[in-house]
Amino acid sequence: MTTPTFAHIPLAHITASLTNPRKTFDAPKLAELTESIRASGVHQPILLRPLPGDRVAETDRAVQYEIVAGERRYRACQAAGLDTIPAMIRPLTDAQVLEIQIIENLQRDDLLELEEAEGYEALMRHSTLTADQVGEKIGKSRSYVYARLKLLDLCPEARTALRQRTIPASVALLVARIPDHKLQIKALGEITGRPDGYGGREAMSHRAAARHLQANYMLRLADARFPITAIGLLPQAGSCSTCPKRTGADPDLFADVKSANTCIDPACYHAKEEAHAAAQVQAAQAKGQTVIAGKEAAEMAIGNTWGPPKFKGYKCLDAAEDSPTNVPLRKIIGPILKAEGIQPTLIAHPRNAGEMVECLPNEVVSRLLKAVEGQAAAAKTVTKEVKALVDEKKAKAQAKAQHQYEQGWRDTLLEDTWYALRDDADTDGWSTDVHRLLALRAAHRLHQADATKLAKLLALGQVAPQAALIDLVKTSPMPGRLHLLILMQEASSANDPDYPSHPANEALMLIAQAVWQERLSTIIQEIKAEIHATVWPPADEAGAKNSSAPHAPAAQANRGAGEGAKSGKPGAKGTGKKTARPAVPAAATVGEQEARQGIAAAMQSVEGGPPVADAQAPPQPAGALTIGDKVKILPTAT
């Protein structure tokens, strides 16, 4: 090695190096150094080399040397007004200069990470050294050098954020791992709170940023809808298994990512999804399948932001939400679908680009479900999915019929009580004005469904039923009885009452008790038997003659005089008051064959047919209201 020459060199004969890793100089610290040099001079010489030939043409003729190390001292001497500076002069090659500059600068605490990375890159570019060899020379690990070099992949906005310390180097490295610069800018804005990277709120920590970027900018290849080993799917990208944008291709850089099969290029990933979907469409069309995509598919989608997609007029084969049971339709109708050679329709997923969803039209699903049920009825054994389907439909039919029964006898009791009450010759106990005020308040708070029922009962018409009812209350000579009618209607629901602390149907039962008195229990039994015969009709005429279950016509024939006024107008007088109905059997029996036919009819009802049920309901169910045990009778006003 050539012995260096020591001399005091004029500042005018020196120029700065173009490869110095230090690009920024802290002004306050440079000022401090300037004052120190003014006071006591330069204590350590700078290192120079003769000006290389390739720089002669671009520099002043007076310049003879280039700075290898010590540019801060050179600048401070200029600021202090000195003419010369102590220096060591050595003939060095470009590669030697770079190595010295990098090693010397690594000793500084204020070296910026990007400056360090640029120095490593320049050293490798002007020499034969690899990243591993650079690490050995500077005493750093291979992964450290690669991590610094990766910072050079940052977009300009992210580089600025790093230089200004808006984000630390560890977070900047996470951003640098994103191969798309537009996505880098987006991620930078999410991490710092502003898209330009200058902040605006406190930036995410390294751990939070890592979690965020992994969740939003990396994709698990195990979840890919396309074959990740396919080479021709996207020819310019090749196979995912050998792609350099897979975390497993650089385990040192992605040591924090658990899976080696994670894609860091969402744009390429989604392009492969679209290519795969296009291939699916071509294959489906070649087999004669219907494919719906683009605007047509978007218009068919029923808006939901999560969960399986839903489409107007179609059911998804693999979504339990579109099945009558808790298992997907494919498990129920799959065998018959295959047997009939039915090809599902492919519809583009409304949220997942490139994904196609296998569906069937609603009418086809309905037909196949009925066919499956028919096969189940004839087979000795059925799959658990088909059994669940049959059981579910039976339960729905039973619940529907039970509700019709419970609501039906309440509605009929209300009507009979109203006609008996309306035709009562007794005068109201309170003044007409008081009753009218109470009736108007009750009419105003009445639900629309209840107002519609009363409008029908009072023959007021179907248009604006609540307004028509209010007008009737205003002009009726018997507002007190209309008030009682409204109270009964509010309390006639077979569903759970709005006020659980009150007895169910309290107002209906109290008013009915006041009207029918000791005959109420008999009348309720008669009505229940009538409604039972309507909801659960006999299987056939022969079965009807042999069954003890009451029939609607027979019950009609037994009705008391209170019913006879139904054909009159509101306010008309009837032929009698509170006439008792003849007693009817308290229970009825339904034969096995009748019950089976009832079940079949009820299951048809669930699909949109008339309201029937699938099993016998007792004329007076265990949970039904009776005057003796569920309704507290309050004294009536006289």
Known catalytic residues? 71
Sheet order of strands, 345-348 included: 291-292, 345-348, 356-361, 314-316
Helices (H), 358-464: 362-378, 384-422, 432-444, 448-457
| Cβ proximity of 513 and 633 under 8 Å | yes
Q: How far is CA 414 from CA 193, 305, 357, 542, in A?
A: 65, 46, 51, 33
SS3 category, 44: coil
Residue 510 in tokens: 């109290």
H or E, element range at 359: strand 356-361
What values do phi and psi take at 53, rounded to 5? -60, -35
Number of H helices, E strands in the chain: 24, 11
Joined tokens for residue 39: 């006071």
What are φ and ψ of residue 10, in 5° steps? -60, 140
- CB neighbours of residue 361 within 10 Å: 15
Alpha-carbon span 393 to 121, nearest angstrom: 72
3-state secondary structure of 254: coil
* Residue 206 CA, distance from chain mean position: 28
DSSP 590-623: --HHHHHHHHHHHHHHHTTS-S--SS---SS-TT
What one-letter code names the amino acid at 194?
R
Between the CA atoms of 513, 515, 518 and 520, what dihedral angle is there, to the nearest 10 degrees? -70
Q: Distance between CA 578 and CA 519 in Å, rounded?
A: 9
Q: Record the tokens describing residue 409, joined without a space.
A: 């006898």
Q: Cα separations (Å) of 52 from 38, 70, 89, 93, 585?
A: 31, 18, 13, 9, 120
The Cα 300–Cα 303 span in angstroms is 9
Dist. CA 333–CA 337, nearest whole Å:
6
